[in-house]
Amino acid sequence: MGEVILEIKNLFTSYGRIPMLMDISLTVHQQNICCLLGPNGAGKTTLINAIIGTVNADKGQIIFKGEDITNLPTHDRIAKGIQVASAGVGTFPKMTVETNLRLGAYNINDEKLLAQRLEEIYESFPILKGRLEQKAGTLSGGERTMLSIARAVINKPDLLIMDEPSLGLAPIVVDEVFHIVKRLNQENGMTIMLVEQNIAKALSVSKFGYIIQKGQIIYSGPSEQLVDCDALKNPVM
């Protein structure tokens, strides 16, 4: 299974006085793809925000690479090796693709290393290479998704969290996105936490999965067992 890279212990969060996440515990193992599934409004993005530190924990702990990061500011969590790739997050529509990639890599201070990383990104995401001067806001949905993934991947994070990368994309682009997810894991050994609505695809690329409903983990298990899980067939919003 590999070592544990992320452990969430009995996490509670709320929006104002309204409880959101309730007693969430989960574990992500190194070099695995772990998926988090659940209906709209279940708390998936909230959980991601709690991990990266834009939503506060009321109770519980978030342990990353053996260290308690529960109360660290977001930039420290990023510096420790967590990146979130999410369609809208972290890209600047009025700036070019290249500027977006450079801003995403703000932790890389060595210009030579950055140039090398950019080359690697252009190789992995050829769709971006031809559009370096284009403003991010004018990219197609699929291209913007690739940019958001590339912006996170350029940092070679120890944990890449993806929030519904296939959302709103045509089937052929969805296939491309899942191909990238698989390749990042298999060829680069990247640990990925994948939040998805495309249940079948998410289970097909992941080893282990959690199902969240109304702010609680209601089921977890190896992905091949989750395929038959009732909670996925009849989700409760």
Ligand X SMILES: Nc1ncnc2c1ncn2[C@@H]1O[C@H](COP(=O)(O)OP(=O)(O)OP(=O)(O)O)[C@@H](O)[C@H]1O
Where does this chain bind ligand X (CB under 6 A)? 15, 20, 38, 40-46
Distance in angstroms (rounded) separating the CA atoms of residues 54 and 47: 10
**Beta carbon of residue 197, minimum distance to Mg ion (angstroms, whole number):** 9
Region label for 38, one of left (φ > 0), alpha (ψ between -120 and 50) or beta (otherwise): left
**Beta carbon of residue 164, minimum distance to Mg ion (angstroms, whole number):** 6
Closest Cα partner for 236 from 42, 48, 45?
42
Query: How many Cα atoms sit within 13 Å of 167 on the Cβ side?
Result: 16
**Beta carbon of residue 112, minimum distance to ligand X (angstroms, whole number):** 39
The count of residues interacting with Mg ion (CB under 5 A) is 2
Distance in angstroms (rounded) separating the CA atoms of residues 114 and 165: 25
Q: Quick one: what does residue 46 bind among ligand X, Mg ion, none, with the CB cut-off 5 to 8 Å set by partner type? A: ligand X
Q: Quick one: what does residue 43 bind among ligand X, Mg ion, none, with the CB cut-off 5 to 8 Å set by partner type? A: ligand X
Tell me the residue length of the chain. 237
Closest CB to ligand X among residues 43, 157 = 43
Site for Mg ion in 87-116 (CB under 5 A): none
| DSSP state letter for 113 | H
Site for Mg ion in 28-47 (CB under 5 A): 44-45
Closest CB to ligand X among residues 50, 108 = 50
Closest CB to Mg ion among residues 45, 204 = 45
**Beta carbon of residue 213, minimum distance to ligand X (angstroms, whole number):** 9
Angle at 191 between CA 20 and CA 33, to 5 degrees: 70
CA distances from 166 to 96, 142, 163, 197 (A): 23, 8, 9, 8
Closest CB to ligand X among residues 40, 109 = 40
| Contact predicate 34/192, CB 8 Å | yes
Q: Quick one: what does residue 41 bind among Mg ion, ligand X, none, with the CB cut-off 5 to 8 Å set by partner type? A: ligand X
**Beta carbon of residue 150, minimum distance to ligand X (angstroms, whole number):** 22
| Contact predicate 184/192, CB 8 Å | yes
**Beta carbon of residue 25, minimum distance to ligand X (angstroms, whole number):** 17
Closest CB to ligand X among residues 6, 20 = 20
Instruction: Verify binding: residue 54, Mg ion, rule CB under 5 A.
Output: no
Residue carrying the six token digits 């091949």: 224
Binding positions for Mg ion, rule: CB under 5 A:
44-45
